[in-house]
DNA sequence: AATTGTGAAATTGTTCACAGCA
DNA sequence: TGCTGTGAACAATTTCACAATT
């Protein structure tokens, strides 16, 4: 009844943060909406409905509305959401309305590939520092960035004001690298080593384990095969 | 009361598949346990308790037991689980007790890195075929595998008995590549292009969007910063 | 007429707590 | 005694359904 939150506000988003508990899945889907809105804009949509977004991403319209309503009232009843404005709003919520300085540790096959990964730059994530422990690599110029010695990780994090690091080192050295970064004040890491890193509770880590994703597929294939055989 | 499922069986696992609905998160955690068990074995553990596993992966013992019990009774009350046997059981459940032939489409920076990715081979995922649409790459030998023309995708899938494909092509051509693979009978794909692919319901797709992972971190950092400022 | 925003209901996933067993 | 396996309690997430609004 008390419609304290009903009036649309210009900048409720930030306020909403502190009011509600936002689930990880909601944040993940916000990224999805952000991309979908970009594509829909290109296709000429001026306003989009929760159904437009849902159909595109195999979600339900209610899910889309619930997710968005956690941050404010961005739509117009009877009409839908203004595509480009909503996209900008979500960008702001995700914090990608600015540049982020990122460091990458481990310039091996995967690390090198990530340096060239266009999507990062496009979203405002700039890899400003590279680190390795291989003397042959240290000092060399990789895509315009000099590879530094991982021993100088802490110093460089401060000097270059890095706020996130990407860990692309072998599993055996991932934890030590992580510890160094935590010591230097890093609060967010994207980890590609197949280990779960131990960090203090104020540090966020996302571990991307590609072998695990194939295992997931393997399970699904095996499972479906079993079903077809009609196991007793 | 009716304890039809209470008696321990030698090979209940497969039967359990058809009986219960297994959640994606459970499968994901099975992969985690599989890795943890490998590490614990190396550390000399012969039996492990649900607590050993839980502590290591920041989960609860109950969660570990629930996950495992969905597939059968692998432990001994009072003792714990036999490490190496449990690991083998999980491997079998995940379907990684055999070789999987994998194709990779898009031999760019990321694609090349994935070909060299040791974890895949270690888990039994062998990249047996590479595809690209760049005439300069086609026919060349990459880590012992000849790069084929993506036009021959369907033929090669059948010839080489590929059961999964990894999509590492630009977003704009990911859907057409996906469609070709589906046509050729592929039922599982790991997609690195930042688009959500449309597939029939009997095909599993896992989309790995690395920019999205950084966006997740960005949100967390922005959110925490907002909290510290104490936004009104 | 169309579509949002949102409490309430339904569903799904996690944790508790304890009987059962080595 | 110690630890598994599991039904029951609890928590989180998703979907429903509808009043509110343009």
**Strand, coil or helix: B163:** coil
Q: Is the CB of A75 under 7 A from strand C?
A: yes
Q: pLDDT per residue over B28-79, tens digit each?
A: 999 999 999 999 999 999 999 999 999 999 999 999 999 999 999 999 999 9
Q: Nucleotides on strand D with an atom closer than 7 A to protein CB?
A: 1-7, 12-17, 19-22
Antiparallel, parallel or unpaired: β B141-142 and B145-149: antiparallel
**Other beta carbons within 10 Å of B146:** 11
Q: Give how far B132 is from chain A: nearest CA, Å.
A: 17
Nearest to A217 among B110, B206, B209 (CB): B206
List, as ranges, residues 138-157 from A with C-beta within 8 Å of B: none
Q: Is residue B164 within 8 angstroms of chain A, CB to CB? A: yes
Question: E strand or H helix at A15, and its extent?
Answer: helix A12-19
Which residue is it, tokens 């692309």?
Answer: A168
A188 to A115, A163, A199: CA distances (angstroms): 18, 7, 10
Is residue A231 pLDDT above 50, yes or no?
Answer: no
Q: In this structure, how many other beta carbons lie within 10 angstroms of the beta carbon of residue B139?
A: 10
Considering only CA atoms, which residue is closest to the C1' of nucleotide D14?
A: A63
> What pTM, to 2 d.p., does this model score?
0.91
Angstrom distance, B16 CA to D8 C1': 22
CA distances from B60 to A25, A158, B37, B56, B63 (A): 21, 36, 16, 10, 5
How far apart are alpha carbons A49 and A28 in whole angstroms? 19
Please tell me the distance from the alpha carbon of residue B180 to that of residue A217, in angstroms, as a whole number: 19
Q: What is the per-residue pLDDT across A168-204, written as a single tens digit (0 to 9) for each? A: 999 999 999 999 999 999 999 999 999 999 999 999 9
Pairing of strands A100-105, A125-132: parallel
A73 touches strand C (CB under 7 A): yes
A78 touches strand C (CB under 7 A): yes
Of B28, B195, B212, the CB nearest to A216: B28
Q: What pLDDT does residue B20 have?
A: 67
Residue A17: pLDDT band (50, 70, 90) is very low
All residues at 6 or more sequence positions from B187 whose CB lies less than 8 Å from its CB, including other chains = A220, A221, A224, B163, B202, B203, B204
pLDDT tens, B202-211? 999 999 999 9
A22-36 residue pLDDT tens: 999 999 999 999 999
* CA A99 – CA A88 distance, rounded (Å): 15
Instruction: Report the number of secondary-structure helices (H) and strands (E) in chain B.
Output: 10, 9
């Amino acid at each position: 009844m008390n419609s304290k939150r009903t009036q649309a506000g210009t900048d409720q988003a930030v306020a909403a943060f502190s009011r509600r508990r936002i689930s990880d899945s909601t944040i993940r889907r916000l990224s999805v909406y952000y991309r979908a809105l970009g594509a829909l804009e290109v296709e000429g949509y001026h306003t989009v409905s929760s159904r437009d977004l849902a159909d595109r991403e195999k979600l339900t319209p209610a899910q889309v509305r619930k997710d968005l309503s956690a941050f404010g009232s961005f739509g117009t009843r009877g009409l839908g959401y203004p595509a480009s404005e909503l996209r900008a709003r979500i960008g702001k919520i995700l914090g990608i309305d600015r540049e982020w300085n990122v460091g990458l540790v481990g310039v091996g096959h995967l690390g090198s590939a990530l340096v060239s990964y266009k999507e990062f730059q496009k979203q405002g994530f700039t890899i400003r520092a590279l680190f390795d422990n291989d003397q042959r690599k240290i000092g060399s110029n990789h895509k315009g960035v000099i590879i530094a010695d991982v021993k100088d990780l802490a110093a460089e994090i401060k000097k270059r004001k890095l706020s996130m690091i990407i860990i692309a080192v072998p599993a055996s050295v991932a934890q030590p690298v992580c510890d160094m970064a935590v010591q230097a004040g890093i609060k967010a890491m994207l980890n590609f080593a197949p280990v779960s890193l131990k960090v203090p509770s104020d540090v966020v880590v996302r571990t991307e384990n590609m072998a695990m994703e194939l295992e997931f597929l393997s399970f699904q294939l095996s499972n479906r095969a079993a079903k077809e055989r009609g196991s007793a």
